[in-house]
A and B are shown apart, each in its own frame.
Chain A
Amino acid sequence: AQSVAQPEDQVNVAEGNPLTVKCTYSVSGNPYLFWYVQYPNRGLQFLLKYITGDNLVKGSYGFEAEFNKSQTSFHLKKPSALVSDSALYFCAVRDRGGGKSTFGDGTTLTVKP
């Protein structure tokens, strides 16, 4: 069975500071990993994904994530946070054979001016 953990319910950063939203996963074999963002009363917007190759993945809006196989982690990062980045962030995992995505509980990111 696949599972995702986002250990922090809430992350607070000041605008302009770097941000990290943590994600660890458990899946048999090599996973596909995704980050989505959800703004209030909106659907899930795709940010980035790891499929294979370079462990550092770059995505939308200046976000990036690093796949670490030994630590089974896929932390989301951004060098300089914006107030508009404040939202709910979900990490998701999918195994190589299927389409079902398993999501983490989500992390609320608040960027203060």
Chain B
Amino acid sequence: EPEVTQTPSHQVTQMGQEVILRCVPISNHLYFYWYRQILGQKVEFLVSFYNNEISEKSEIFDDQFSVERPDGSNFTLKIRSTKLEDSAMYFCASSLGEGGETQYFGPGTRLLVL
């Protein structure tokens, strides 16, 4: 069964450093998402991406964040200058469409900012 994959599974970085989180969505999916889950808290929407552009973003997704689909298979989330409060589990998801289409989630990348 096709699945969403994410790399790395864990990343430790120093405050102020740039990180890139990588995702390979399910191959025929058209919509891509990033969510995050701070330890012990709810899953929060960051951004949705379709047709090579951001279709929706949350207040969390400020200028420090960017997304890219560089090569037709990978979908990346970049945090330019990490802060302590960026420490969280980051989930990538993909779906065939919006609305009622199921979003399938990857296993997550646990980011720790020191």
Do A and B interact?
yes
Interface of A toward B, CB cutoff 8 Å: 32, 34, 36, 42-46, 49, 51-52, 90, 92, 94, 96-106
Can you pick out 19 interface pairs between chain A and chain B where the beta carbons lie within 8 Å of each other? A43-B106, A46-B103, A46-B104, A49-B100, A94-B99, A94-B100, A96-B100, A98-B55, A98-B56, A98-B98, A99-B31, A99-B103, A100-B45, A100-B48, A100-B58, A101-B33, A101-B45, A103-B44, A105-B41
Interface of B is mostly: strand
Whether B56 lies near A34 (C-beta < 8 A) is no
Kindly list chain A residues whose C-beta atoms are within 8 Å of the C-beta of B42. 90, 103-106
Check B95 for interface membership: any CB of A closer than 8 A.
yes
Chain B interface size, as a band, is: 20 to 34
* Contact (Cβ within 8 A) B48 A34: no
A101 to B93, CA, bound (A): 11
Residues facing A in B5-44 (CB within 8 A) are 31, 33, 35, 41-44
Contact of A44 among B50, B98, B100, B105 (CB under 8 A): B105
B98 near A101 (CB under 8 angstroms)? no
Complex contact A99–B48 (CB within 8 A): yes
- Among A46, A52, A98, A99, chain B packs the most CB atoms within 10 A around the CB of A99
Query: Which of B33, B58, B95, B100 gathers the greatest number of chain A CB atoms within 10 Å?
Result: B100
Measured between beta carbons, the chain B residues less than 8 angstroms from A98 are 48, 55-56, 98-99
Provide the residues of chain B in CB contact with A102, threshold 8 Å.
Answer: 45
Alpha-carbon distance between A44 and B79 when the two chains are bound, in angstroms: 23
Residues of B62-114 contacting chain A, CB below 8 A:
91, 93, 95, 98-100, 102-108
CA distance A66 to B105 in the complex (A): 24
Residues on the B chain within 8 Å of A96, using CB: 99-100
Contacts A100-B48, A104-B42 given; does A34 touch B102 at CB 8 Å = yes
CA distance A45 to B102 in the complex (A): 11
Q: In whole angstroms, how far apart are the Cα atoms of A105 and B45 in the complex?
A: 13
Beta-carbon contact of B105 and A43 below 8 Å: yes
